[in-house]
């Protein structure tokens, strides 16, 4: 197994890998480009949990490891052919293997994926490379192998240290196995570890939620993701809801756990993210600040920003199986738009692993591909940026969307009058009240696009 210990900037083949659409006929210069990440989705897991709405599939038979690695690299080649001009000269700041359970793939397969990506793209020195894993699926030797492959951050899906709660959640590991797995990763040299915990679990009390936090802190991970269990449409939990704490009880749990995390040196920087000093997640920060990312793998989403003067006719030609029926291209508008604008494009891949494998080397791998309408950009931006505890400068909104601040003047005024946003004309910063009712805040920015009100923060977003 060859080793990718410290990915460094390498010549990118993106610019030479074919033509790009007229959408990318003009792209911003390097100094104005937003950061670029790479998301890699591995969709299989040992058993799908009843609360999970990610694109994951319970394992049946042998994993098609070699076939899927080849498909991922073919998928990446296809995206580079399509978007080469928008990617040329840009470096990958982070890589995230999400799932499913990526640790079902052996280290040599992860190494092959990383080496293939680094041969096609430039990686920044010290690029953050995260691998999601479930505590019950990794043996000691694998952590050594993942580290040699180039992985430098591990994210454990612990969810709880209470065995009764783990059984209720359908998890395959015990609390003892979770602790043992974290210690094995630490013994292998990983010092950048995230523990993924949930609260407001079935029949959970505040003391039980705090006990989970205590057990997590005792392991001294660099990062803890702590989020509320929600009933997602289409999941078994949504069809047969378990008895969950009510909204007020869940809020009390969240506040108590926040205080305990803060006391232990874990600063909250996002609604559900807490980190020791200098250990914030680069990859998810790029999502939350409306950065760009390539997404490869079954069901993966990507987002790229380009600068151009797209005509309505060209825009209609470039749409792919994506626009809701009855929605005309360019129908919505915002005040203050000029002729040349930043264009944000999203692409997502087919979800089912078999269909993805069969079409990975062709356009059949693409489930949807569309430019985000200018009228939708404020909602898309706020959906992510308002999750950040420190907020973002207002001028970053213009830099990342190409829209002037006066395009959101009306919802901004409404949010500030209701006490949901700080009354600071230079920042977008949710108040404590605004964070408690964040969905209501975000809805102010999507009043004209009702079909997007139920959209979640970025689809690839993992702890």
Give the model's pLDDT for residue 26: 33
The string of pLDDT tens digits covering residues 132-172 is 998 877 665 689 999 999 999 999 999 999 999 999 998 99
Q: Is the pLDDT of residue 13 over 50?
A: no
What is the structure's pLDDT at 457? 52
- Is residue 385 within 8 A of residue 427, CB to CB? The reply is no
Model pLDDT for residues 329-372, shown as the tens digit of each residue: 333 345 544 434 688 999 999 999 999 999 999 999 999 999 99
- Residues paired with residue 274 on neighbouring β-strands, in sequence order: 224, 268
- Which has the closest alpha carbon to 421: 402, 440, 405? 440
At 54 the pLDDT is: 83
The residue ranking higher by pLDDT, 374 or 446, is 374
Q: What confidence score (pLDDT) does residue 31 get?
A: 38
Note the pLDDT tens digit of each residue in 192-216: 999 999 999 999 999 999 999 999 9
Average pLDDT, the chain: 84
pLDDT of residue 342: 83
From residue 184, how far is each of 5, 6, 160, 175, 181 by CA, in Å? 19, 22, 18, 14, 5
- List domains and CATH numbers for the chain: 377-452 (1.10.10.10)
* pTM for the model: 0.85
Phi, psi torsion values for 73, nearest 5 degrees? -70, -35
């Amino acid at each position: 197994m060859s080793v990718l210990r410290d990915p460094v900037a390498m010549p990118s083949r993106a610019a030479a890998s074919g033509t790009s659409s007229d959408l990318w006929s003009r792209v911003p210069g390097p100094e104005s480009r937003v950061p670029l990440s790479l998301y890699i989705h591995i969709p299989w897991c040992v058993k799908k949990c009843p609360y999970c709405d990610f694109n994951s599939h319970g394992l049946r038979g042998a994993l098609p490891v070699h076939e899927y690695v080849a498909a991922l690299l073919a998928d990446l080649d296809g995206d580079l052919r399509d978007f080469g001009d928008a990617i040329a000269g840009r470096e990958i700041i982070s890589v995230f293997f999400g799932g499913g359970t990526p640790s079902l793939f052996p280290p040599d397969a992860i190494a092959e994926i990383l080496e293939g990506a680094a041969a096609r793209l430039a990686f920044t020195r010290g690029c953050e490379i995260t691998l999601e894993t479930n505590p019950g699926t990794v043996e000691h030797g694998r952590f050594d192998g993942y580290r040699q492959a180039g992985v430098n951050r591990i994210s454990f899906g612990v969810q709880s240290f209470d065995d009764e709660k783990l059984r209720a959640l359908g998890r395959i590991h015990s609390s003892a196995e979770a602790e043992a797995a974290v210690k094995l990763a630490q013994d292998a040299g990983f010092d950048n570890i995230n523990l993924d915990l949930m609260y407001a679990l079935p029949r959970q009390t505040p003391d039980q939620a705090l006990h989970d936090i205590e057990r997590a802190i005792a392991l001294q991970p660099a990062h803890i993701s702590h989020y509320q269990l929600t009933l997602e449409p289409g999941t078994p939990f949504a069809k047969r809801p378990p008895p969950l704490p009510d909204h007020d009880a869940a809020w009390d749990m969240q506040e108590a756990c926040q205080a305990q995390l803060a006391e232990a040196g874990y600063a909250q920087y996002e609604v559900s993210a807490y980190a020791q000093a200098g250990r914030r997640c680069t990859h998810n920060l790029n999502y939350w600040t409306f950065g760009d990312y390539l997404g490869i793998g079954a069901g993966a989403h990507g987002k790229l920003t380009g600068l151009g003067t797209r005509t309505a006719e060209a825009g209609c030609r470039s749409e792919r199986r994506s626009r809701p029926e009855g929605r005309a291209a360019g129908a919505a508008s915002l005040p203050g738009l000029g002729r040349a604008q930043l264009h944000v494009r999203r692409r997502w891949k087919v979800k089912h692993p078999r269909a993805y494998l069969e079409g990975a080397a062709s356009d059949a791998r693409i489930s949807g591909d569309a430019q985000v309408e200018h009228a939708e950009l404020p909602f898309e931006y706020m959906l992510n940026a308002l999750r950040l505890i420190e907020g973002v400068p207002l001028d970053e909104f213009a830099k990342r969307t190409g829209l002037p601040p006066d395009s959101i003047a009306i919802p901004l005024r409404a949010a500030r009058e209701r006490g949901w946003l700080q009354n600071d004309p230079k920042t977008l910063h949710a108040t404590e009240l605004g964070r408690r009712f964040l969905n209501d805040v975000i809805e102010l920015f999507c009043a004209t696009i009702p079909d997007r009100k139920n959209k979640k923060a970025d689809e690839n977003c993992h702890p």
